Amino acid sequence: MSRLSVELPGLTLKNPIMPASGCFGFGKEYSRFYDLSELGAIMIKATTKEPRFGNATPRVAETASGMLNAIGLQNPGLAHVMENELKWLEQFDVPLIANVAGSTVEDYIEVSEVISTAPNVKALELNISCPNVKHGGIAFGTDPAVARELTKRVKQVSSVPVYVKLSPNVSSIVEMAKACEEGGADGLTMINTLVGMRLDHKTGKPVIANRTGGLSGPAIKPVALRMVYEVSQVTSLPIIAMGGIQDEYDVIDFISAGASAAAVGTANFVDPLVCPSIIEKLDQLLQSWGIDHIHDLKGRSWNNAGEAAYHRA
């Protein structure tokens, strides 16, 4: 077994590195840079029942060490995704995690039921935390009772394990995580973006057409890390962590905080080769530290994992 291979509910991962949803489309574009089979998994772009055009432009704005986006869940709709995008991805030896979004509980259920039957979809990621759509999205992500109920309903119809993607825009992420666990979630992914805003200095108006957007990138890493640290100590669910990951050290940090795997979002835009580059360097780093398996470091920020390994190194 390799240093980097990881087993999670529904997912047999060559390595714990995957692009985060919405930052990688359905993979086609980045397949021009490298073989997608190198990835641990791919979290595909949010899929909704009907096609969506999304928000008006501008949809992105830069901030200090971060960016705001308000794409608005643009996607070609469930049927098209099933017939085209997922089919196309079958040529790669890589499990998919399907990011599911909707405006109503029924939307989530319908999409989940269908998309979970695709042969390469090995898990669902319920996007209850998208800040950029008027209905649904974030509403599901800030009320524990609503999140629990949604999880439960989706679990009933899904053919694959269900991960719930948590929003950081809450008073207590621990409560949200527990609610999802009670609802029967198989895992958590965290964090989605923080709600933020940028104004045009001269006009004073929002730069992003949607006015507010989701903040991602290195700026939010301290918040993401803290939340993974908190949640991993109170639930037994595996966590796929994200938020500002740019290099192998960031991955180590999230694993140390208690995550089981890590996803890379914004950094793909900065360096299209960032995922394969992290995979390679992570392996080298662990080797140079004398760590047999990446999970030897899991949770060592709050437990004693990795102490021995570290001192041996």
Partner 1 sequence: MIQQENMTIISHRSIAKDIYELILQGSLTKQMTSPGQFVHIRVTSGSDPLLRRPISICSIDQENGQFTMLYRVSGSGTRVLSEQAAGATVNVLGPLGNGFPVEYLTSGQKALLIGGGIGVPPLYELSKRLTERGIEVTHVLGFQQKDAVFYQDRFEELGKTHIATADGSHGTKGFVTDVIEKLSIEADAYFTCGPSPMLKAVEQSMPEVDGFISMEQRMGCGVGACLACVCQVQGDETGLAYKKVCTDGPVFQSGEVVV
- Going by the annotation, the residues of the binding site for FMN are 21, 45-46, 99, 127, 165, 191, 217, 243-244, 265-266
Residues at the interface with ligand FMN (CB under 6 A): 20-23, 45-46, 69, 71, 73, 99, 127, 130, 165, 192-193, 216-217, 220, 242-245, 264-267
- 204 makes contact with partner 1 (CB under 8 A): no
Residue of 23, 130, 180, 275 with catalytic role: 130
- 280 makes contact with partner 1 (CB under 8 A): no
Would you state the structure tokens that stand for residue 42, as one six-digit string? 């791919």
Residue (5 or 31) nearer to partner 1, CB: 31
Residues 207-246, one symbol each (x = binds partner 1 by CB under 8 A, - = not), give ----------xxx--------------------------x
Distances (CA, A) of 260 to 175, 194, 298: 20, 22, 7
Residues at the interface with a second copy (CB under 8 A): 63-66, 68, 142, 169-172, 194-199, 201-206, 211-212, 215, 217-223, 225-226, 229, 244, 249, 252-253, 256-257, 297, 300-301, 306, 310
What sign has the CA pseudo-torsion 62, 67, 72, 73?
positive
Residue (227 or 286) nearer to ligand FMN, CB: 227
Would you state the structure tokens that stand for residue 212, as one six-digit string? 């507010």
Instruction: For residue 256, give the nearest of 307, 227, 298, 285 by alpha carbon.
Output: 298
Residue (6 or 42) nearer to partner 1, CB: 42
Pick the piece of the chain touching partner 1 (CB under 8 A) from 134-142, 172-180, 235-243, 270-278: 270-278
Instruction: Output the 3-class SS for 55-83.
Output: CCCCCEEEECCEEEECCCCCECCHHHHHH
Q: CA-CA distance, 146 to 152, in Å (whole number)?
A: 10
Summarize the annotated binding site as residue ranges.
21, 45-46, 69-73, 99, 127, 165, 191-193, 217, 243-244, 265-266
Is 23 considered catalytic here? no
Which string of b and e fits 81-115 if b means at least 16 CB within 10 Å? bbeebbeebeebebbbbbbbbbbeeebbbbbbebb
- CA 230 vs. chain centroid, Å, equals 18
Q: How many other CB atoms are there within 10 angstroms of residue 31's CB atom?
A: 16
Residue (238 or 243) nearer to ligand FMN, CB: 243
Query: 62 near 7, Cβ under 8 Å?
Result: no
Report the chain's C-alpha Rg in angstroms.
18
Q: Coil, strand or helix: which one is 281?
A: helix
Q: Which of 9, 33, 113, 120 binds partner 1 (CB under 8 A)?
A: 33
- 29 makes contact with partner 1 (CB under 8 A): yes
Catalytic residues: 130
* Residues at the site binding partner 1, with contacts judged by CB under 8 A: 22-25, 28-30, 32-33, 51-54, 57-62, 64-67, 69, 71, 74, 217-219, 246, 266, 268-273
